[in-house]
Amino acid sequence: MLTKSNKKTIRAWAMYDWANSVYSLTITSAIFPVYYNAVTTHNGNDTIQFFGIDFVNTALYSYSISFAFLIVALVSPLLSGIADYSGSKKSFMKFFCYLGSLACVGLFFFDRNTIELGIICSILACVGYAGSIVFYNAYLPEIALPHEQDAVSAKGYSYGYIGSVLLLVINLAMIQFPDVFHIPSGDFPARLSFLMVGLWWAGFAQITFAHMPKSPNTEKVTKNKLFNGYRELKKVWNELKHLPRLQKFLLAFFFYNMSVQSIMYVATLFGTKELKMQDSQLIATIFIIQLVAVGGSYLFSWLSAQFGNIQTLILAVIVWIGIGSMAYFIQTATQFMLLAIFVGLVMGGIQALSRSTYSKLLPETIDTTSYFSFYDVTEKVSLVIGTFLYGYIEVLTGSMRGSVLFFTMIFIVGLFLLTRLVKVPVLQAISKAVRSSMN
């Protein structure tokens, strides 16, 4: 049985962010996108073949992410339902953790001649990361009281930023100074960094697995209960009719998360492809984002305590709208790096605060896994649609700037939906005037 507010348990829980965030930084944001673009671009040609089909390299990257999160969105309800009955929440978390870490190890073998292997491993790594987060998030209301959840959620993200930056520094040192580490130069240091991500992820996750006990439920999973996760999703969907605030929040979250996650996944490729930034400039930008994000997650935790969760989320989305608007017009690496300061400020804050806000809005229930499964499915479906549209709009417009403009407009939709949860006189007056004019 989990005891809430136990500092040792909370630290162990947060250490999983330390473990898996190296995937987010090295694979999602820093080294892998740069390596991927280099491997898949030849003499200025960014068209590659994947199982005999031609793709624009960055569009294929977006589509692969979309496909990975589609798998998670479809499978996680099944696994969550089983976990509720069998008490195997930690077992499934382990499975996805090891799947992701092994896939990162597999990326060591990704080069110009193994495009299919690289894409498949990147998809499996993404599935492992996203799948394990479903069960990781479900522990939050079980280990922390409602008034603690903002701070605990922020602690997890801050642990993740610190741990991921630490490994990134080591990996970059290997890439820049391979002789010091007595390793071959060329692409070997980058591929070795993918291997190290897998080992770091699985290794530090042992701290979490050692201290997080199994859930108390130990019922036998019968054939009738196998698909209970989908029935639980339907149950949560029906219960939302009686939980208007939670329903409104999830709808707003669906839209603004679509933009946040999609932009974060392709930001490095935007710098590489649209601004022709050097690798050193991109890495410096990633460092700026990560370092600012540590303070940003705690800043937004403090702001939520002072002004409320929804009001703070509104502020974060407004900042994101500004970021998207500026990103469409920027032309230089310096402008991109300055913009990174604002990205770091709100990146961790909006993710941590969204997770804890949802947790606070939940009704009194012991079935936290089903509710968080619904939250994660909402998050994943928005990401599936977002990353697919990002790649499709790039192909349609011939530029990633068109995608950025589209997602800035999606942020505006998310902002409008968030304001329905609070009384904002100016916005209410505008909304009333619009409705009156339409009538």
What are the pLDDT digits (tens) for 312-362?
Answer: 999 999 999 999 899 889 888 888 888 888 888 887 678 778 878 888 888
Number of domains in the chain: 1
Sole residue written with tokens 């930001």: 267
Could you tell me the sign of the dihedral formed by the alpha carbons of 165, 166, 167, 170, in that order?
positive
pLDDT (0 to 100) of residue 426: 45
Which structural domain range is residue 108 located in? 7-214+263-421
Distance CA 411, CA 128 (A): 28
pLDDT (0 to 100) of residue 266: 80
Q: Give the CA distances from residue 104 to residues 122, 159, 196, 205, 363, in Å, rounded to whole numbers and listed in that order.
A: 7, 21, 8, 15, 38
378-407 burial: b if 16+ Cβ within 10 Å, else e: bbbbbbbbbbbbbbbbbbeeebbbbbbbbb
Residue 243 within any structural domain of the chain:
no
Distance CA 7, CA 62 (A): 39
Sole residue written with tokens 């400020």: 345
pLDDT (0 to 100) of residue 291: 76
pLDDT (0 to 100) of residue 1: 52
Residue 178 within any structural domain of the chain:
yes
DSSP result, 343-398: HHHHHHHHHHHHHHHHHHHS-S-S-HHHHHHHHHHHHHHHHHHHHHHHHHHHHHHS
pLDDT (0 to 100) of residue 205: 96
pLDDT (0 to 100) of residue 47: 87
Global pTM exceeds 0.85? no
pLDDT (0 to 100) of residue 216: 59
pLDDT (0 to 100) of residue 434: 45
Residue 200 within any structural domain of the chain:
yes
Residue 427 within any structural domain of the chain:
no
Report the run of H or E that residue 246 belongs to, with start and end: helix 244-273
Residue 223 within any structural domain of the chain:
no
Contact 195, 105 (CB under 8 A): yes
Residue 56 within any structural domain of the chain:
yes
pLDDT (0 to 100) of residue 370: 74
Distance CA 219, CA 117 (A): 39
Contact 77, 229 (CB under 8 A): yes
Burial class (CB within 10 angstroms; exposed 0-12, middle 13-18, buried 19+) of 44:
exposed
pLDDT (0 to 100) of residue 176: 86
pLDDT (0 to 100) of residue 182: 93
Beta bridge partners of 47: 56
The CATH number of whichever domain residue 62 belongs to comes to 1.20.1250.20
Could you tell me the sign of the dihedral formed by the alpha carbons of 66, 254, 73, 27, in that order?
positive
Sole residue written with tokens 């049985």: 1
Distance CA 297, CA 436 (A): 40
423: left (phi over 0), alpha (psi -120 to 50) or beta: beta
CB proximity list for 303: less than 8 A, separation 6 or greater:
312, 315
pLDDT (0 to 100) of residue 199: 97
pLDDT (0 to 100) of residue 122: 94
Low-confidence ranges of the chain (pLDDT < 70): 1-3, 80-87, 214-226, 348, 365-369, 423-439
Residue 296 within any structural domain of the chain:
yes
pLDDT (0 to 100) of residue 217: 56
Residue 242 within any structural domain of the chain:
no
Strand residue runs (E) in 38-117: 47-50, 53-56
pLDDT (0 to 100) of residue 96: 93
Distance CA 5, CA 168 (A): 32
pLDDT (0 to 100) of residue 366: 56
